[in-house]
Amino acid sequence: MTSMVKFFSIATFCGCVFLFSACVTREASPAAPSDDAELVQGQKVYNSKCASCHGSAGEGGVGLQLNEGAVLAAYPEFAAQVALVKEGRDAMPAFADSLSEEEIKAVTRYTREVLE
Ligand code: HEC
């Protein structure tokens, strides 16, 4: 019994150390202008929900490239991009249930205005 407890505390500890180092070593996404609260929120959402697939700078990975104008070229219409993020497409998850309308708008603005 005690050894089980020991095992789980060690496992939990290692998990935390791993997560922590993964967070610190990950490259930062481009900073949102601090006077635009919506873009600041968008950056937070991007880091926690999108960067793992689209890369911290939007350079792509599992997900398509978003930076260097790619997302603007694919989605000239803001509303169409919001719809894609809500509904998902193939390997792109749908976020309608896990993000609020405001969060989706904020992250969409972030990908269009800050990632470059
Ligand atoms: C699990 C990986 C994953 C995550 C997490 C993810 N995406 Fe994607 N995303 C993809 C994939 C894969 C595609 C390409 C879908 C396809 O093949 O049609 C994509 C496509 C897109 C596109 C369309 C790009 C284009 O040129 O058509 C946008 C915009 C986008 N994602 C935004 C986001 C945003 C914003 C988030 C965070 C809220 C996010 N993605 C999170 C994997 C992901």
Distance (Å, whole) CA 116 – CA 107:
14
Report the separation in Å between the CA atom of 87 and the middle of ligand 1, taken as the mean of its atom positions: 11
Structural domain harbouring 61: 30-113
Q: What's the pTM?
A: 0.83
| Percent helix, strand and coil across the chain, each to the nearest 5 | 60, 0, 40
22 within domain boundaries? no
Decide if 91 contacts 110 (C-beta within 8 A). Answer: no
69 within domain boundaries? yes
Per-residue pLDDT reduced to its tens digit, 24-83: 445 789 999 999 999 999 999 999 999 999 999 999 999 999 999 999 999 999 999 999
35 within domain boundaries? yes
Take atom 37 of ligand 1 and give the residue whose Cα is closest.
50
Number of domains composing the chain: 1
Report the separation in Å between the CA atom of 34 and the middle of ligand 1, taken as the mean of its atom positions: 25
Query: How many helical (H) and strand (E) elements, i.e. helices and strands, does the chain have?
Result: 6, 0
CATH, residue 101: 1.10.760.10
16 within domain boundaries? no
Per-residue pLDDT reduced to its tens digit, 84-102: 999 999 999 999 999 999 9
38 within domain boundaries? yes
46 within domain boundaries? yes
Report the separation in Å between the CA atom of 18 and the middle of ligand 1, taken as the mean of its atom positions: 26
The angle at the Cα of 89, spanning 84 to 90, to the nearest 5 degrees, equals 165
Take atom 40 of ligand 1 and give the residue whose Cα is closest.
50
Ligand 1 is surrounded, with C-beta below 6 A, by: 49-50, 52-54, 62-64, 66, 70-71, 74, 81, 84-85, 89-93, 95, 107, 111
